[in-house]
Amino acid sequence: MPNENHMPTNCIIVDDEPMARDVVRRYVHMIPALKLIGEFGNAIEATMFLQDQSVDLIFLDIRMPQLSGVEFVRSLRNMPKIIFTTAHKDYAHEGFELDVTDYLLKPIRFDRFLKAVNKALPPKQQELETHGITNGEKIEPAISFIYLRAERKMKKVSLDDIIYIESDRDYVKVYTENGFIITRQTIASVEAMLSESQFVRIHRSYIVSVSKLKSFTTETVEIGNKELPIGKLYRNNFLKLQSN
């Protein structure tokens, strides 16, 4: 680990899913105490990198082809801090048997990510300001856009342009001011990339932009030219947020 005179903590990301790497990369960039020095789509590439470079912290997926995250950790001679990032909670016990710093279940929210990072930082770096923490007052990190994989490329989407998001089985439709984008991923993975102050989940199939809401009842919301249902599991949280 680096010394404690506020030197940044060097980190890498190892995950075979581009969208998952995108989320972690944006979170890392929100924390000045972290310095991203590499990202890899598999553990073999990361192994080659570590032959010539030393790192302080690895954000590591567990379930990857060729060499799993668990196998990768066991192969390390000098193990840095490890934060597992995975969509499979069944692997949690393996992570803690390896004495990793933390275990993050996808989709990863920023507040949970920050808590894990603080465990990995040297004491004098813990609780340092992020882009969303200033003078001890916590505000939400400024996120202005996300990337969505569509039509075999990564499309940049401004959060201000998003009206609402709809889940359609294995796909998600993101409705914007300029039409819609279809991406093959879960609505939960998209939700994890969004700002909680700008978007709210109202149904297992819908996320809406708070600023685009025209009206609402206890059963539905009117947004754009659509009326969307509010699910029972999400009703109390939605109504509570609107009353604040």
Average pLDDT, integer, range 208-224: 94
Say how far apart CA 189 and CA 138 lie, in whole Å.
24
Q: For the chain, what is the mean pLDDT?
A: 84
Are residues 201 and 234 in contact, defined by beta-carbon separation less than 8 angstroms?
A: yes
For residues 167 and 186, the answer to whether their CB atoms sit within 8 Å is yes
Domain boundary among 135, 167, 186: 135
What gap in Å lies between CA 116 and CA 84, rounded to an integer?
A: 10
Tokens 């989709």 belong to residue: 107
Q: What is the CATH number of the domain that holds 104?
A: 3.40.50.2300
Distance separating the N- and C-terminal Cα atoms of the chain: 43
Say if residue 77 is in the same domain as residue 16. yes
Residues 125 and 169 in one domain: no
The residue-averaged pLDDT of 128-145 equals 50
Domain of 175: which CATH number? 2.40.50.1020
Number of domains in the chain: 2
**Shared-domain flag, residues 165 and 54:** no
Residue 180, class by beta-carbon neighbours within 10 Å (0-12 exposed, 13-18 middle, 19+ buried)? middle
Same domain, 21 and 110: yes
Residue 59 near residue 11, CB atoms below 8 Å: yes
Is 64 found in the same domain as 165? no
pLDDT at position 124 is 61
Mean of pLDDT values over 188-216: 89
Q: Are residues 128 and 196 in the same domain?
A: no
The per-residue pLDDT for 127 is 52
Length of the chain: 244
Are residues 24 and 124 both part of a single domain? yes
Read off the pLDDT of residues 74-86 as tens digits, 9 standing for 90 and up. Answer: 999 889 999 999 8
What pTM does this model have? Answer: 0.60
Q: Is residue 211 part of a domain?
A: yes
- Domain hosting residue 202, numbered range: 155-243
Q: What phi and psi values does residue 92 have, to the nearest 5 degrees?
A: -55, -45
If asked whether residues 51 and 108 sit together in one domain, one would say yes
pLDDT digit string, tens, across residues 144-187:
778 788 887 778 888 899 999 999 878 999 999 999 999 988 88
Residues 103, 15 within the same domain:
yes
Q: Are residues 37 and 128 in the same domain?
A: yes
At which of 105, 135, 165 does a domain end? Answer: 135
